[in-house]
């Protein structure tokens, strides 16, 4: 009896130990899963608050889509978007001291020239574009305009065209640079000055303002980015690659065009040279919501998230891009640049 009791007791002890062990593993595993879930939720919950985004007017459509996609993952972030001409956006930071987390410019050199090194330390090139001439079916000579005669039609007295202000918007000075290049490309001396003195009543602060002029038939043609023309379903004329500021292989020819725009201080001027269109993005040193800003920019630069949306809106991705600011770029964003 004692021996049988001892064996039975040993059996039940081992069984109990096994059950307790399995229970412990189950409880530990369950707790671990819950902890991981909590950590994930906490990381999402930690990304919250207002996020202030200044961006070029030409980025309005893709930025709205990117913000909506970002909010699905980070619903506690309130994205405050403020579109304007890129130069105007920069001056809101440098002259008006307006709070800003992220600045996305239609010309990366606006960041280089106006914000680095005082307001930010780095800049990432992320998208491309090209200049076109947009019009509607109601535009005069809409059935005749071509790559070989567009400048002649724009100079006709009965034709009105609009362009952006070079001192507030990259599209504005790029339009002027294209006119300079056109004078050389078509061998038409004085073409730039003839275009510049015509229809100045239709110069607007940013390129998106021009679309309203065109759609209301106030003007017949506007100088615009191809991405905007596609986003707004406008008809447009493709310009020769030698003047549309699109192709890197024409960089040397583009650089033969230049103009001066207003700098940060009264009386200060900045010389803008022709070059391929490259958009840039940065986070400000004194960003009020640095954590959300870093997360948003990483989301935007990801090929499956923001850059997929950019490309669907007619702006080719340049990510990963070369940078001279590699050491200054946040660690989570270094994978989107090339040293």
Per-residue pLDDT tens over the stretch 108-122: 999 999 999 999 999
Strands 337-338 and 321-322: parallel
Domain range 48-128+279-338, CATH class: alpha beta
pLDDT at 266 over 90: no
pLDDT at 231 over 90: yes
Give 57-106 pLDDT, tens digit per residue.
Answer: 999 999 999 999 999 999 999 999 999 999 999 999 999 999 999 999 99
Percent of the chain with pLDDT over 90: 83
pLDDT at 11 over 80: no
Q: 326 is written with which tokens?
A: 């590699």
What residues form DSSP beta bridges with 79? Answer: 51
State residue 267's pLDDT score: 84
Give 293-325 pLDDT, tens digit per residue.
Answer: 999 999 999 999 999 999 999 999 999 999 999
Residue 31 binned pLDDT confidence (cut-offs 50, 70, 90): very low
Domain range 131-262, CATH class: alpha beta
pTM value is: 0.82
Percent of the chain with pLDDT over 70: 87
What residues form DSSP beta bridges with 175? Answer: none
- Whether the CB-CB separation of 185 and 256 falls below 8 Å is answered with no
Residue 30 binned pLDDT confidence (cut-offs 50, 70, 90): very low
- Considering the chain, tell me which residue range(s) the CATH 3.40.190.10 domain(s) occupy: 48-128+279-338, 131-262
pLDDT at 5 over 60: no
State residue 195's pLDDT score: 98
Q: What is the number of other CB atoms lying within 10 angstroms of the CB of residue 324? A: 11
Angle at 168 between CA 136 and CA 66, to 5 degrees: 70
Residue 16 binned pLDDT confidence (cut-offs 50, 70, 90): low
- Whether the CB-CB separation of 110 and 86 falls below 8 Å is answered with yes
State residue 265's pLDDT score: 78
Who has greater pLDDT, 2 or 330? 330
């Amino acid at each position: 009896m004692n021996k049988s009791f001892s064996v039975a007791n040993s059996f039940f002890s081992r069984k109990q130990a096994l059950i307790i062990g399995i229970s412990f593993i189950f409880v530990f595993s369950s707790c671990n899963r819950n902890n991981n879930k909590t950590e994930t939720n906490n990381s999402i919950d930690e990304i919250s608050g207002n996020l202030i985004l200044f961006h070029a007017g030409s980025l309005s459509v893709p930025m709205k889509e990117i913000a909506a996609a970002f909010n699905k993952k980070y619903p506690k972030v309130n994205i405050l978007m403020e579109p304007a001409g890129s130069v105007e956006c920069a001056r809101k930071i440098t002259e008006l001291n307006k709070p800003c987390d992220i600045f996305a410019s239609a010309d990366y050199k606006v960041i280089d020239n106006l914000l680095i090194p005082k307001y930010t330390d780095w800049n990432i090139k992320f998208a491309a574009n090209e200049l076109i001439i947009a019009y509607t079916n109601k535009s005069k000579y809409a059935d005749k305009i071509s790559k070989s005669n567009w400048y002649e039609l724009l100079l006709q007295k009965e034709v009105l065209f609009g362009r952006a202000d070079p001192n507030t918007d990259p599209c504005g000075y790029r339009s002027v640079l294209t006119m300079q290049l056109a004078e050389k490309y078509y061998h038409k001396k004085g073409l730039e000055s003839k275009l510049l003195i015509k229809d100045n009543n239709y110069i607007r602060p940013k390129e998106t303002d021009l679309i309203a002029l065109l759609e209301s038939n106030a003007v017949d043609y506007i100088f615009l980015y191809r991405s905007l023309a596609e986003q707004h379903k406008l008809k447009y004329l493709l310009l020769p690659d030698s003047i549309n500021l699109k192709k890197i292989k024409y960089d040397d020819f583009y650089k033969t065009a230049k103009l001066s725009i207003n700098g940060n201080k009264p009386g200060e001027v900045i010389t803008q040279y022709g070059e391929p269109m490259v958009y840039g993005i940065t986070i400000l040193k004194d960003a009020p919501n640095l954590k959300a800003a870093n997360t948003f920019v990483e989301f935007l630069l990801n090929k499956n998230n923001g850059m997929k949306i950019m490309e669907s809106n007619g702006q080719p991705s340049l990510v990963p891009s070369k940078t001279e600011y590699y050491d200054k770029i946040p660690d989570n964003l270094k994978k989107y640049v090339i040293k």
